[in-house]
A and B are shown apart, each in its own frame.
Chain A
């Protein structure tokens, strides 16, 4: 492909465990992709190699690249591996153990050998200052400066590189935290990273606020050096354009902001895929969407409604893969910041097949990963995996994956599968493989339910959007099980997350604690509060280089029935003064939808006020995916579709061979980065946006 010298490109770079995906788009919607191996010891190296190759392949000059957007796993890994900075905590006298008490519940029952996560700040680095605020922000004991001086001196002696400051009730009054910060900075100097809790999370609940502040401090120095290194690597390629980073909530931040608030970056990778789907859903006019992102080790699901991903503020990093994470807390480190609500389970191509002590067949959650990998990779894997079962079924190409770059040994996989699984079940290999698929599907159905039915939503009215290397293989089976009729597979599904980076909006969310009963709240007081919050948000965006006119804002209120502990977030109605009656009505309706009951007579209270300020992206309606020019395959293979259909000779096609007219299954659509399985009772077509659309049989 020849690139004209006037074209300008934006780059999306997504690092995964195995691959680093790079996607470039120009103003005409042309999409170029590149997949290179990740370099976990120094992720920047893989990026540098991949971007360099992409530029060489297409003859792109550095000045043609006008923006780079990045999703990173560095923050997550630093927490998972405990490789953040040596961090100290300064807190109110009497409360240095709040961080270690956590919420005291443990996520595993009946396990007398359970070990809770080690606190990110050991007790010896947790210091107390003499001061006390009340819940209304009233000073009960003034800050004793000497105690802050002493704490800072001890921190200097201990050699900590980051400091988290979290005092009781600072969400209501940050004066003491600011004073402690000033004292600490003066004593510790400019090289020590300092975070105040009222700046990162001005919300009630001391454990969650302390933990969030500590995670931010713990990540600060690490992310600072990573982002600096990345910027230097891009500069070495003479790329001088702005570099942005995706947040866990799906917005973008400048590198400068990200360095101050790295806790926002913890789940930026999974967020990227959901953002891409949100954009596709908007363009395809799909009001209700469930996303399914399935790779080698995990499957992730999320909800997109009216083009907006559903978010949560209850997140734990390092909690591992836990479907019931909403119910069972304590496995990881709490971060109470906006996250796209992604449910993640251990179901991927590498999931290991085994029998438990009671003789029950299980798939995962343990995974063979990419090393040693499934048996068919012939890299030393000896235990059958889901990918091997898919191979036995004929779902995936028996010769090679990733456009021929990954050769497979189908015979070896079949041998191991027959001996270890099929014989023990007394079934044929194909029957056993179909059973394995059913179990994986059941697991993933739980994941889908955890974002839908668990939240009071009926998934049957939703479209399932499948991506990742394995999502499109299992999507139809999942859809059928849960009663979803329509599956959509976007173009380049295997690199969709990187693509999502290029459609993410610059988005900032600010929250202020604002406790008040709704029926005594004065609308003009609320309006004044909203105005102040808006100014703050606009200032932050301006600092990142976004001018005021392009910024759109929307207000939300966190509401609950007085006495409840969990809030529902409801948009504040537009208007010169907010219409509080309408706000109340909207809350009752949302409560009814989420919990199947409401109490319109009950008092409603507001807990916090939120503002989301965003800079929209220019809307590109059409993308031309370079990968779509793959040659037709023109062959069929035998595929086993379960007892209902048996073995079917199944055509193997390219996406480009399908048009707007639905074609009946069975068929398999093979692409460079993914495979889509269309069962016999389903139909498939390609819509105007290049999406592969499946109508799944009942």
Chain B
């Protein structure tokens, strides 16, 4: 006979599956019941099940950026409401300072779950709201200088108290958004998910009893911790450094530096951000929960192991950052558009991991979602065209980078063009891969995307957050950096080039076209080693031109295929410097930017 307190591996597996399915169930309810396209199409939201101490025991399969965002939030909640949490409560908050939020658009809606009169755990949801008031529609105005300009700020409050809705909060939210119908609809979807999740969690606890349930969730944390420590222990000890940059802001950008020191010691990882630029007077500061989340994500991606989303695995990862830096800002730094630094932290950390795990980490991807917002009024109703644009991946030791794929740090979806056009006064002029884009390499980087928006309303304001023009995505192992990003109003002879991150709303008039060309991803390995057949295939598929193939790779394409003799000849004399200078020239010419 087994001792009563022993952990049965079979029960453990069953409880783990059940918790994952509850977290997925929370996510499904939100997806299907939500109103805004940012939640239902982009799927910019996450869900979790937490234990009685607020530690995540399972997370729904949604947005990686939100991974590890619940621990800080739950700690604040537990601290502030110790002894005051009762059955039927539902909490809401979004404040990055003092509530564990990430940026104001992310609303947390969290319900405690009681079994046998005791706090047994929480079901938690987080959804990006499409507008929360503030200086600019969409809640992601890069040019906000303080959080007070960014819209409605909610500390941890009880949206429901003992089952009774707190109507004051509902009305306050409704009055502080440009799109009350969508925001209230999405909040309702979050509440519905919590209520469903509560029932499911109670069913699970009922089957095993609260005491055993707790014992097993505790073991889940230990299990996840064991797994990750075993993976980390297999890495060589040492300290690894990497730097990457954001272009900066506005017309005369100054680079913003990200410096990560990644130290592997035995079975632990320490990530330190000392040397990273100071916080800025713009909305791209990332409070500590954001920074923690990106560190957990990068470690998971680099290790590539199947580790359950239990807080236990985080015990092996330590994150530090100087207070006052852009990755750990002081209140009241603005942070609405902090997503861009999430992506750059991710790139920086992967760059460091590439030194530890050569061949396992790809060259840099597009650098994160580009986030255009076009907002105004049409037929006396407000509209906001939003939806992040992505993306492409860097080349890797195994293969070319892929185009038309979400950044692994975000995994957001796109909104159907037909839906955008049916609902908003815009016409999409094109949505396509960009010719001669991406970084050359033995395995090339993924091709950039381009999309154009023609305004059909009388006027609107464009708010744009993008990056990777001055500092394109890095290549690895001799691969070249990707191609830069561009923002263009009315492409053609009299086109106007906008900064990567304009520090103001840009006025658009009826008929104006805004085109974004995103960065192409970095290449991997020496371009001179690229298989001519792969080059030829790219020519056939219209991803590169024949003259690009000749100038960049030395591959000569004739009407009936590769001219092997001419190719051998050209390749023997092709200098690396020529490849380097010609790929950008070709890209700029293809996009009318020369």
Question: Hey, which bits of chain A sit against chain B, CB under 8 A?
Answer: 93-98, 100-106, 109-116, 122-124, 132, 134-135, 140, 168-169, 171, 204-208, 324, 326-329, 356-362, 425, 435, 438-439, 442-443, 445-446, 449-450, 453-454, 456, 515, 561-566, 591, 594-597, 599, 602
Complex contact A595–B541 (CB within 8 A): no
Complex contact B418–A101 (CB within 8 A): no
- Chain B nearest CB from A127 CB (Å) reads 10
Most buried by A among B10, B31, B34, B230: B10
Chain A contacts of B422 at CB under 8 A?
135, 204, 515
Complex contact B417–A324 (CB within 8 A): no
- Chain B nearest CB from A122 CB (Å) reads 6
| Interface check B212, CB cutoff 8 A | no
Complex contact A113–B418 (CB within 8 A): no
Chain A contacts of B21 at CB under 8 A?
446, 449-450, 454
Complex contact A103–B191 (CB within 8 A): no
Q: Which residue of A lies closest to B431 (CB)?
A: A95
Complex contact B43–A105 (CB within 8 A): yes
| Interface check B32, CB cutoff 8 A | yes
Complex contact B40–A442 (CB within 8 A): no
Chain B contacts of A591 at CB under 8 A?
33
Complex contact A100–B306 (CB within 8 A): no
The CA-CA distance from A135 to B427 in the complex, in Å, is 10
Q: Which residue of B lies closest to A209 (CB)?
A: B418
Complex contact B181–A563 (CB within 8 A): yes
Chain B contacts of A327 at CB under 8 A?
24, 27-28, 31, 60-62
Complex contact B419–A204 (CB within 8 A): yes
- Chain A nearest CB from B102 CB (Å) reads 18
A-B contact list, 17 entries, CB within 8 Å: A94-B430, A97-B431, A101-B414, A104-B405, A109-B411, A112-B361, A113-B398, A115-B402, A124-B540, A204-B416, A208-B416, A327-B60, A361-B10, A435-B10, A438-B14, A454-B21, A563-B181
- Chain B nearest CB from A151 CB (Å) reads 14
Complex contact B449–A360 (CB within 8 A): no
Chain A contacts of B182 at CB under 8 A?
563
The CA-CA distance from A327 to B43 in the complex, in Å, is 10
Complex contact B405–A106 (CB within 8 A): yes
Q: A206-B417, A563-B185 are in contact. Are A100 and B404 (CB under 8 A)?
A: yes
The CA-CA distance from A103 to B9 in the complex, in Å, is 38
Chain A interface: which of B297-305, B494-502, B559-567?
Answer: B297-305
Q: Which residue of B lies closest to A136 (CB)?
A: B422
Complex contact B28–A454 (CB within 8 A): yes
Given contacts A456-B196, A563-B182, 13 further A-B contacts (CB under 8 A): A95-B431, A103-B413, A106-B405, A112-B361, A115-B402, A134-B421, A205-B416, A327-B60, A327-B61, A356-B306, A454-B21, A564-B185, A591-B33
Q: Which residue of B lies closest to A170 (CB)?
A: B418
Complex contact B61–A205 (CB within 8 A): no
| Interface check B200, CB cutoff 8 A | yes
Q: Which residue of A lies closest to B540 (CB)?
A: A124
The CA-CA distance from A443 to B24 in the complex, in Å, is 15
- Chain B nearest CB from A227 CB (Å) reads 33
| Interface check B95, CB cutoff 8 A | no
The CA-CA distance from A564 to B419 in the complex, in Å, is 11
Chain B contacts of A112 at CB under 8 A?
301-302, 304, 350, 360-362, 393, 396, 408
| Interface check B574, CB cutoff 8 A | no
Complex contact A106–B418 (CB within 8 A): no
The CA-CA distance from A328 to B40 in the complex, in Å, is 13
| Interface check B551, CB cutoff 8 A | no
Q: A360-B223, A563-B35, A595-B29 are in contact. Are A98 and B431 (CB under 8 A)?
A: yes
| Interface check B64, CB cutoff 8 A | yes
Complex contact B418–A454 (CB within 8 A): no
Q: Which of A93, A111, A359, A596 contacts B196 (CB 8 A)?
A: A596
Complex contact B226–A358 (CB within 8 A): yes
Complex contact A561–B10 (CB within 8 A): no
| Interface check B412, CB cutoff 8 A | yes
Chain A contacts of B41 at CB under 8 A?
103, 565
Chain B contacts of A357 at CB under 8 A?
227, 230, 305
The CA-CA distance from A616 to B29 in the complex, in Å, is 36
The CA-CA distance from A402 to B40 in the complex, in Å, is 48
Chain A contacts of B226 at CB under 8 A?
358-359
Chain A contacts of B391 at CB under 8 A?
104
Question: Hey, which bits of chain B sit against chain A, CB under 8 A?
Answer: 9-10, 12-14, 17-18, 21, 24-25, 27-29, 31-37, 40-41, 43, 60-62, 64, 181-182, 185, 188-189, 191-192, 195-196, 200, 223, 226-227, 230, 297, 300-302, 304-306, 350, 360-362, 390-391, 393, 396, 398-399, 402-406, 408, 411-414, 416-419, 421-422, 427-433, 449, 452, 540-543
- Chain B nearest CB from A206 CB (Å) reads 5
- Chain B nearest CB from A208 CB (Å) reads 8
- Chain A nearest CB from B180 CB (Å) reads 11
The CA-CA distance from A96 to B413 in the complex, in Å, is 18
Q: A106-B405, A110-B304, A435-B10 are in contact. Are A563 and B36 (CB under 8 A)?
A: yes
Chain B contacts of A140 at CB under 8 A?
427
Complex contact B200–A453 (CB within 8 A): yes
Complex contact A360–B13 (CB within 8 A): yes
- Chain B nearest CB from A13 CB (Å) reads 36
- Chain A nearest CB from B274 CB (Å) reads 26
Chain B contacts of A206 at CB under 8 A?
416-418
- Chain B nearest CB from A328 CB (Å) reads 6
The CA-CA distance from A191 to B510 in the complex, in Å, is 47
Q: Which residue of B lies closest to A204 (CB)?
A: B418
Complex contact A207–B304 (CB within 8 A): no
Chain A contacts of B223 at CB under 8 A?
358, 360
The CA-CA distance from A113 to B303 in the complex, in Å, is 11
The CA-CA distance from A278 to B60 in the complex, in Å, is 33
Leading 10 A-B pairs by shortest Cβ distance: A94-B430, A563-B35, A123-B541, A101-B404, A135-B422, A565-B40, A442-B14, A597-B192, A358-B227, A435-B10
Q: Which residue of A lies closest to B388 (CB)?
A: A104
Q: Which residue of A lies closest to B37 (CB)?
A: A565
- Chain B nearest CB from A457 CB (Å) reads 12
Q: Which of A104, A171, A453, A562 contacts B413 (CB 8 A)?
A: A104
The CA-CA distance from A403 to B62 in the complex, in Å, is 48
Complex contact B408–A116 (CB within 8 A): no
Complex contact B431–A101 (CB within 8 A): yes
The CA-CA distance from A205 to B418 in the complex, in Å, is 6
Q: Which residue of B lies closest to A329 (CB)?
A: B413
Chain B contacts of A450 at CB under 8 A?
21
Complex contact A113–B390 (CB within 8 A): no
Most buried by A among B191, B418, B422: B418
- Chain A nearest CB from B376 CB (Å) reads 18
Complex contact A123–B37 (CB within 8 A): no
Chain A contacts of B34 at CB under 8 A?
564-565
Q: Which residue of A lies closest to B8 (CB)?
A: A435
Chain B contacts of A93 at CB under 8 A?
430
Q: Which of B297, B452, B541 contacts A110 (CB 8 A)?
A: B297
The CA-CA distance from A680 to B101 in the complex, in Å, is 53
Chain B contacts of A361 at CB under 8 A?
9-10, 13
Chain A contacts of B399 at CB under 8 A?
115
- Chain A nearest CB from B368 CB (Å) reads 13
Chain A contacts of B191 at CB under 8 A?
597
The CA-CA distance from A329 to B353 in the complex, in Å, is 29
Q: Which of B14, B37, B188 contacts A597 (CB 8 A)?
A: B188
Q: Which residue of B lies closest to A437 (CB)?
A: B10
Chain A contacts of B200 at CB under 8 A?
453
Complex contact A566–B40 (CB within 8 A): yes
Q: Which of A362, A453, A564 contacts B35 (CB 8 A)?
A: A564
Q: A112-B361, A442-B17, A443-B17 are in contact. Are A105 and B432 (CB under 8 A)?
A: no
Chain A contacts of B403 at CB under 8 A?
100
The CA-CA distance from A231 to B418 in the complex, in Å, is 41
Complex contact A109–B185 (CB within 8 A): no
Complex contact B541–A596 (CB within 8 A): no
- Chain B nearest CB from A697 CB (Å) reads 16
Chain B contacts of A595 at CB under 8 A?
29, 32-33, 189, 192, 196
Chain A contacts of B360 at CB under 8 A?
112
